[in-house]
């Protein structure tokens, strides 16, 4: 049995200052319209949780179902940090594959405060996320910067390379009506923006945004029976965790696992996320038409390009400089404009990536359209060991 | 010396600062911060995790700084000077440990250079482990 993406919807990203439920409902209604399905026909709702909005944030499935109007539909809620959306999609498609429902709605939305993400309030000395701020002042960009500096030392990448990623993604984002940042950027602007965490500058680092995204998933049989679009098939959802010992310093950790007793695994965690998706889909990186990867920083997009197999380790910069990863290039990376143009709305972001996969694969991405797009991969990683990679094909 | 900002993660002995981890008696995997109760190696059923002092010297895996004051619960000094951070690889333990860097800025650091464990005070007083010049 196949699961298809029958519809997608988004509330534009921004800093709107309204309750997250509004963004989620707007995205859900847009996805239902796109699918040509009435809300009352949805059998199952999965909400990706936000943790910044108090009580209703933690019960997102019910929050969205109530806001859309109680119908008695069954629900689930899940939290997997940045990977929440992928897990929500996995829960919905698994229920469809199990034959327990025919059609499901997956929704994620967030409202974010200004500035650095900070830990949940109060004195919580048992929480590593609280402690890394208290003892080290280690913000999320600090970890991104450690990875960026490591690339520079190992592979010879430069701040100019990182700026080129921003320029590329800003151009794609300028063509996306749902992006928060619609202005193109020059390398000079990026390199003149304030240093935040050396070597990363303000324009190298993704913002925190408000936004909402939703997808309608259905069994291919149901979609055909009901005349819904069957053009885009969900070919794989990878939600793998790291293998011990995890030798990459992950936020919010103080240290890596130790290799004193067990040698490092064959693949790093990020590489294993995409690998599992390729295995499930039965395709490889050479079969992709484009990829959406989690560019929390410009430099991290280069790490991801290697981790998902578009280039050997250390050679993503070469791919970038050749224009291969730009719109119109051999293998566009982040044709949506990526986090560079959106900023991060955590529970919505992995779903937004899938919205871009579906639009590209249906050929409705407008000025961002990747020519003859047949297969797309979306990859991200959530805090605390949450992998997320989704492959869709047309 | 001021009170430690966290109990049981580092110790100062005869002027030398040591990170305090634990080591599994069965498989010898090392943990920092100290892991207690059970070993996290999936192939090991060990439940005897003994305190272990980690190597005091390691090589820089990577480094950065915080050009803007980090948010609470961090307490920033006023006037604020950028906090420098280094992730340091301890070869014997096969582990990379993050820490603030004492008296060195990013311009003074490079990947692969050797640093040694020391300690320093947070802006509101308590001591924390820091990486410093050997």
pLDDT in tens, chain B (134 residues): 689 999 999 999 999 999 999 999 999 999 999 999 999 999 999 999 999 999 999 999 999 999 999 999 999 999 999 999 999 999 999 999 999 999 999 999 999 999 999 999 999 999 999 999 99
Best B59, B92, B94, B102 residue to mutate vs chain A (most A CBs within 10 Å): B94
Q: How many CB contacts within 8 angstroms connect chain A with chain B?
A: 141
Mean pLDDT of A178-195: 98
User: Is A120's pLDDT higher than 90?
Assistant: no
Residues of B in contact with A137 (CB under 8 A): 66, 69-70, 74, 76, 83, 85, 100
CB contact under 8 A, B33 and A254: yes
A139 touches chain B (CB under 8 A): yes
Residue in chain B closest to A122 (alpha carbons) equals: B73
pLDDT of residue B1: 64
Q: How far is A268 from chain B (nearest CA, A)?
A: 15
User: Is A364's pLDDT higher than 70?
Assistant: yes
Whether the Cβ atoms of residue A151 and residue A200 lie closer than 8 Å to each other: no
> What homologous superfamily is domain A3-115+210-234 in, according to CATH?
Thiolase/Chalcone synthase (3.40.47.10)
> What homologous superfamily is domain A128-205+235-393 in, according to CATH?
Thiolase/Chalcone synthase (3.40.47.10)
Name the residue ranges covered by the structural domains of chain B. 8-54, 55-133
Instruction: Tokens for A197, please give them.
Output: 């965490």
Instruction: Tokens for A80, please give them.
Output: 């997997």
Mean pLDDT of A51-62: 88
What average pLDDT does chain A have? Answer: 96
Q: Which pTM does this prediction carry?
A: 0.96
Name the residue ranges covered by the structural domains of chain A. 3-115+210-234, 128-205+235-393
CB contact under 8 A, A116 and B67: no
pLDDT of residue A113: 82
User: Is A79's pLDDT higher than 90?
Assistant: yes
Residues of A in contact with B41 (CB under 8 A): 244-245, 261-262
Q: How confident is the model at residue A126 (pLDDT cuts 50, 70, 90)?
A: confident
Cα distance between residue A107 and residue A27, in whole Å: 8
B3 touches chain A (CB under 8 A): no
pLDDT of residue A88: 98
- Residues of A numbered 149-178 whose beta carbons fall under 8 angstroms of chain B's beta carbons: which are they? 149-150, 153-154
Q: How confident is the model at residue A167 (pLDDT cuts 50, 70, 90)?
A: very high
B74 touches chain A (CB under 8 A): yes
Nearest to B71 among A133, A249, A261 (CB): A133
User: Is A114's pLDDT higher than 90?
Assistant: no
User: Is A25's pLDDT higher than 70?
Assistant: yes
pLDDT of residue A125: 84
Whether the Cβ atoms of residue A12 and residue A224 lie closer than 8 Å to each other: no
pLDDT of residue A53: 81
Cα distance between residue A335 and residue A337, in whole Å: 5
Mean pLDDT of A1-28: 97
Q: How confident is the model at residue A247 (pLDDT cuts 50, 70, 90)?
A: very high
A145 touches chain B (CB under 8 A): yes
A197 touches chain B (CB under 8 A): yes
B28 touches chain A (CB under 8 A): yes
B27 touches chain A (CB under 8 A): yes
Residues of B in contact with A205 (CB under 8 A): none
Residues of B in contact with A139 (CB under 8 A): 66, 70-71
Exposed / middle / buried, residue A362 (Cβ in 10 Å: 0-12, 13-18, 19+): middle
Residues of A in contact with B69 (CB under 8 A): 137
B131 touches chain A (CB under 8 A): no
What digits encode the pLDDT tens for the residues A253-292? 999 999 999 999 999 999 999 999 999 999 999 999 999 9
Q: How confident is the model at residue A121 (pLDDT cuts 50, 70, 90)?
A: confident
- Residues of A numbered 234-293 whose beta carbons fall under 8 angstroms of chain B's beta carbons: which are they? 244-245, 247, 249, 253-262
Residue in chain A closest to B93 (alpha carbons) equals: A260
Residues of A in contact with B5 (CB under 8 A): 134-135
Q: Percent of chain A scored above 90 by pLDDT?
A: 92
Nearest to A118 among B67, B72, B111 (CB): B72
């Amino acid at each position: 049995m196949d699961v298809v993406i029958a519809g997608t919807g988004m509330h534009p990203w921004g800093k709107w200052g309204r309750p997250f439920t509004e963004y989620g409902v707007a995205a859900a209604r847009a996805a239902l319209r796109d699918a040509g399905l009435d809300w009352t026909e949805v059998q199952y709702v999965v909400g990706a949780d936000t943790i910044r909005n108090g009580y209703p944030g933690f019960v997102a499935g019910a929050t969205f179902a109530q806001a859309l109007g109680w119908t008695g539909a069954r629900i689930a809620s899940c939290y997997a940090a940045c990977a929440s959306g992928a897990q929500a999609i996995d829960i919905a498609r698994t229920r469809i594959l199990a034959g327990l429902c025919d059609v499901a709605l997956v929704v994620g939305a967030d409202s974010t405060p200004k500035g650095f993400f900070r830990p949940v309030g109060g004195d919580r000395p048992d929480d590593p996320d609280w402690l890394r701020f208290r003892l080290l002042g280690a913000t999320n960009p600090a970890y991104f910067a450690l990875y960026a500096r490591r690339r520079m030392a190992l592979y010879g990448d430069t701040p100019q390379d990182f700026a080129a990623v921003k320029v590329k993604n800003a151009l794609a984002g300028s063509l996306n009506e749902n992006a928060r940042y619609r202005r193109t950027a020059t390398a000079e602007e990026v390199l003149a923006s304030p240093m935040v965490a050396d070597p990363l500058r303000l324009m190298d680092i993704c913002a925190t945004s408000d936004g909402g995204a939703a997808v309608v998933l259905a069994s291919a049989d149901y979609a055909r029976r009901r005349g819904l679009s069957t053009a885009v098939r969900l070919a794989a959802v990878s939600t793998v965790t790291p293998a011990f010992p995890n030798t990459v310093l992950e936020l919010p950790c103080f240290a890596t696992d130790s290799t004193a007793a067990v040698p490092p695994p064959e693949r790093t965690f990020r590489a294993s996320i995409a690998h599992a998706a390729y295995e499930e889909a039965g395709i490889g990186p050479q079969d992709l038409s484009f990829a959406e990867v989690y560019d929390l920083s410009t430099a991290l997009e280069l790490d991801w390009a290697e981790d998902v197999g578009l280039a050997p380790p250390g050679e993503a910069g070469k791919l970038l400089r050749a224009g291969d990863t730009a719109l119109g290039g051999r293998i566009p990376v982040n044709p949506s404009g990526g986090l560079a143009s959106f900023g991060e709305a955590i529970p919505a972001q992995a779903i937004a990536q899938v919205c871009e996969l579906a639009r590209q694969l249906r050929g409705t991405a407008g000025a961002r359209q990747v020519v003859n797009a047949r297969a797309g991969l979306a990859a991200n990683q959530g805090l605390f060991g949450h992998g997320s990679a989704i492959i869709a094909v047309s | 010396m001021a009170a430690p900002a966290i109990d049981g993660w580092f110790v100062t002995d005869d002027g030398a600062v040591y990170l305090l981890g634990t080591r599994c008696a069965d498989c010898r995997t090392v943990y920092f911060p100290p892991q207690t109760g059970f070993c996290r190696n999936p192939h090991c059923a060990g439940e005897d995790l003994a305190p272990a002092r980690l190597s005091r010297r390691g090589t820089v895996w990577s480094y950065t700084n915080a050009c803007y004051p980090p948010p609470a619960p961090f307490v920033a000094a006023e006037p604020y000077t950028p906090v420098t951070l280094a992730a340091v690889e301890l070869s014997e333990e096969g582990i990379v440990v993050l820490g603030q860097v004492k008296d060195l800025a990013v311009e003074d650091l490079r990947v692969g250079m050797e640093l040694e464990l020391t300690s320093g005070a947070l802006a509101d007083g308590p001591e924390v482990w820091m990486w410093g010049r050997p």
